[in-house]
């Protein structure tokens, strides 16, 4: 695996580079066969490479619980014991990363930043997925990934 500081530098650099139509360098949001919208690679991501930072508003646990009851609450991820990131407020394309029981990416927290990195080679056109379903105590979402190892909940 790449050295974590290199992951952070690479993810920050990719996050700051945007094209004219505001899509993140290397990622595109479009309709997903998994669920609703998804986040797709537009470039090749080698195994163990940083893809992007999961960005958004930093909120407390109490605020995360309150927001989870709203329809936009599905873009909330736990940063640490005290804080969460709401990708729907000030976030980027990574808020549309869907869950999969057989993910091709994962999240690492480095210096209070959530960095998404490739678990395996991800090719252009492939949907970026992370195994995060029900990682938040109040989330009762059912799995829609349809993989052979799907846990359903």
pTM (two decimals): 0.77
Tokens of 20: 């004219």
| Same domain, residue pair 63 and 119 | no
Residue 124 and residue 99 share a domain:
yes
Whether residue 4 is found in the same domain as residue 50: yes
Enumerate the H helices of 42-146 as residue ranges.
61-68
Tens of pLDDT along 99-143? 888 999 999 999 889 999 999 999 999 999 998 754 544 455 667
Question: Are residues 2 and 26 both part of a single domain?
Answer: yes
What CATH number is given to the structural domain containing 17? 2.170.270.10
Give the count of domains, the chain: 2
Q: Which domain holds residue 105?
A: 1-55+92-135
Tokens standing for residue 15: 């996050």
> How many CB atoms are located within 10 Å of the residue 75 CB?
19
């Amino acid at each position: 695996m790449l050295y974590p500081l290199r992951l952070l530098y690479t993810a920050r650099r990719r996050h700051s580079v945007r094209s004219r139509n505001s899509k993140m360098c290397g990622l595109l949001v479009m309709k997903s066969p998994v669920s609703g919208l998804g986040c797709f690679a537009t470039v090749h991501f080698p195994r163990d490479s940083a893809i992007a930072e999961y960005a958004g508003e930093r909120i407390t646990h109490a605020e995360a619980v309150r927001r989870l009851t709203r329809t936009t609450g599905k873009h909330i991820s736990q940063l640490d014991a005290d804080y969460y990131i709401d990708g729907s407020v000030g976030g980027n394309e990574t808020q549309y990363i869907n869950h999969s029981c057989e993910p091709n990416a994962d999240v690492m927290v480095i210096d209070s930043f959530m960095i998404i990195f490739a678990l395996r080679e991800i090719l252009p056109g492939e949907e970026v997925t992370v195994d995060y379903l029900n990682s938040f105590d109040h989330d009762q979402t059912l799995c829609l990934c349809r993989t052979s190892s799907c846990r359903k909940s």
